Amino acid sequence: MKTIEEFNKGFEELELKKNELQQQFKDSFKELVPKLFENFPLLESVQWDQYTPYFNDGDTCEFSIHDINAINGVDKYDDSIFKSDTYFQAIEFEKIFFKYFNDDLALYLFGDGVTIILYRNGEYKVEYCEHD
């Protein structure tokens, strides 16, 4: 029978392996992103929020990815972007990207209550997100 110390050591090793695998997965994602942007030459970056709402009118609050809200660092409804070729490329990118990039994957990669800025070179920025 294992001692509690041995059991705890096993858990620590499990956490280390999990963290290593998670980092490998994030690195693979960074390699994939430039390929996703290839068909969208006007896009340099896209941004979205992802979070679990604090209140859902009595229903269960569940984590979800929200629509792209900024394109190339500009609000997608700004006059300089809205209904431009860049805007329509972002909408197409969103359809393709979020078809495969689901809530579970987003939560695993980036966490809850965050804004993600994804750059064409595969880099990304994760920031705290204010939400309801």
CB 108 within 8 A of CB 22: yes
Query: Taking phi first (over 0 means left), then psi (-120 to 50 degrees means alpha), and beta for anything else, what does residue 63 get?
Result: beta
Task: Read off the DSSP letter of residue 24.
Answer: H
Would the pTM count as exceeding 0.75? yes
Residue type at position 90: A
CB 71 within 8 A of CB 86: yes
User: What's the pLDDT tens digit per position in 16-72?
Assistant: 998 898 889 889 989 999 999 999 999 999 999 999 888 767 778 889 999 999 999
